[in-house]
């Protein structure tokens, strides 16, 4: 269910009547200098009006997820990620897009899209030109990732792997955010290498205005799944930079984080890399006609639902049927971890007036319910 953060990063395709903007050559050279890598070819740029954003998002949603927007909302509600009583969920989702999106790099068409108007939510936050320039640095880093590390193909391979997709996007967004911070610090006359040593400063910069521009009526899940790859990804990438600079981040692309657990417990990621092990293959289930989706939710989503009782997550397979029924099959490190999760999740569901059927077998917990 990391579709939201993914779609904000790549929703523009089939664009009619857009104008080709000026060359990005100067900005590309700046990104190359900051990142220490060169582009393999130019990046196409197109400019659209903000009024075009919603229909373009709808067009791309139809191409990039295996169900309709309406079914996406049904899945979120069935999984209790969004409360079923929340009105106008789709409208609130689009409002979040409107408030956050300044530009896109679309890996499907390898195109940078600029939006002429700033979101109303960003009015008065500072120098508009500086804000636009920093966003260009961020989005062109995505173009660089696409050209140098085949990010678009890797992302496509993870389309059915919710947890793996969110983990991979954390690497992409963390790196792009770090390049943007490098640009901002240098333009303000500060030392990037000194700042990178300061955990407090990095956390403050990474979380700057994270929720100030979000409508308070936005479902909390949308906000949290949007923030996660930027904030947790930045922490992991900063850790890599401290270990070996940008070259260490280059190595991450050869063996990226494969689960949100590796973002939440980065020592586990570095230990796996040190052992020379690759992460698990992408989760790629087939589904029957009566099934809306089969998801691997991962530690991020279980933590969202039950907090620290999701500690010790190992694996899961969650099936949502078209009638709204849910079957969650989960594995945990130990029977004690499994029992802690079972009790917390069962209480969470009962608090939502849902009576689950529960089966425990050692470190495995299976819970079935129908809202």
Within-domain flag for 283? no
Q: Which residue, 220, 239, 274, sits at the end of a domain?
A: 274
Instruction: Note whether 162 and 66 are same-domain residues.
Output: yes
Q: What is the pLDDT of residue 126?
A: 59
Instruction: Note whether 202 and 258 are same-domain residues.
Output: yes
Q: Tell me the backbone φ, ψ of residue 187, rounded to 5 degrees.
A: -70, -20
Q: What is the pLDDT of residue 123?
A: 61
| Count: domains in the chain | 2
Within-domain flag for 279? no
Q: What is the pLDDT of residue 116?
A: 84
Instruction: Note whether 106 and 202 are same-domain residues.
Output: yes
Instruction: Note whether 206 and 132 are same-domain residues.
Output: yes
Instruction: Note whether 240 and 354 are same-domain residues.
Output: no
Instruction: Note whether 74 and 172 are same-domain residues.
Output: yes
| Alpha-carbon gap, residue 337 to 346, rounded angstroms | 14
Domain of 354, in residue numbers: 291-369
Q: What is the pLDDT of residue 8?
A: 43
Q: What is the pLDDT of residue 278?
A: 94
CA dihedral 166, 61, 133, 196 (to 10 degrees): 0
Within-domain flag for 316? yes
Neighbouring C-beta atoms of residue 153, cutoff 10 Å: 10
| Alpha-carbon gap, residue 89 to 83, rounded angstroms | 9
pTM, two decimal places = 0.91
Q: Please identify which residue in the block is written with the tokens 């770090």.
A: 178
Q: Which residues of the chain have pLDDT under 70?
A: 1-22, 60, 63, 121-128, 204-213
Within-domain flag for 228? yes
Write out the DSSP string of 223-245: HHHHHHHHHHHHHHHHHHHHHHH
Instruction: Note whether 105 and 79 are same-domain residues.
Output: yes
Within-domain flag for 281? no
Instruction: Note whether 191 and 300 are same-domain residues.
Output: no
Within-domain flag for 342? yes
| Alpha-carbon gap, residue 371 to 369, rounded angstroms | 6
Instruction: Note whether 40 and 135 are same-domain residues.
Output: yes
Instruction: Note whether 10 and 104 are same-domain residues.
Output: yes
Within-domain flag for 285? no
Q: Which residue, 225, 240, 274, sits at the end of a domain?
A: 274
Q: What is the pLDDT of residue 57?
A: 74
Instruction: Note whether 265 and 315 are same-domain residues.
Output: no
Instruction: Note whether 91 and 53 are same-domain residues.
Output: yes
């Amino acid at each position: 269910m990391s579709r939201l953060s993914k779609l904000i990063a790549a929703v523009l395709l089939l664009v009619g009547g857009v104008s080709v903007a000026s060359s990005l050559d100067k900005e590309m050279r700046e990104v190359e200098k900051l990142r220490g890598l060169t582009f393999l070819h130019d990046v196409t740029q197109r400019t659209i009006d903000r009024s075009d954003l919603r229909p373009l998002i709808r067009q791309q949603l139809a191409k990039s997820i295996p169900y309709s927007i309406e079914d996406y909302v049904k899945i979120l509600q069935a999984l209790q990620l969004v409360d079923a009583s929340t009105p106008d969920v789709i409208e609130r989702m689009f409002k979040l897009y409107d408030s956050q999106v300044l530009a896109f790099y679309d890996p499907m068409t390898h195109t940078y899209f600029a939006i002429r108007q700033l979101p109303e939510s960003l009015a008065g936050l500072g120098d508009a030109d500086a804000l636009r320039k920093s966003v260009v640095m961020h989005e062109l880093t995505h173009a660089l990732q696409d050209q140098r590390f085949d990010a678009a193909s890797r992302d496509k391979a993870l389309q059915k792997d919710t947890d793996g997709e969110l983990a991979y996007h954390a690497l992409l967004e963390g790196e792009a955010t770090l390049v943007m911070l490098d640009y901002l610090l240098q333009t303000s006359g500060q030392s990037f290498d000194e700042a990178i040593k300061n955990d407090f400063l990095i956390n403050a910069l990474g979380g700057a205005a994270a929720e100030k521009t979000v409508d308070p009526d936005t479902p909390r899940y949308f906000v949290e799944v949007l923030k996660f790859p930027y904030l947790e990804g930045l922490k992991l990438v900063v850790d890599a930079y401290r270990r070996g600079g940008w070259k260490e981040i280059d190595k991450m692309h050869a063996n990226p984080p494969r689960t949100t657990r590796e973002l939440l417990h980065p020592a586990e990621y570095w230990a796996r890399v040190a052992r020379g092990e690759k992460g698990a293959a992408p989760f790629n289930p087939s589904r029957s006609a009566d099934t809306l989706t089969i998801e691997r939710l991962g530690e991020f989503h279980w933590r969202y639902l039950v907090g620290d009782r999701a500690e010790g997550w190992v694996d899961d397979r969650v099936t949502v049927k078209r009638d709204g029924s849910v079957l969650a099959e989960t594995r945990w490190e130990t029977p004690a971890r499994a029992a802690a999760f079972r009790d917390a999740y069962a209480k969470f569901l009962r608090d939502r007036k849902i009576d689950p059927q529960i089966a425990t077998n050692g470190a495995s917990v299976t819970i079935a319910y129908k809202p």
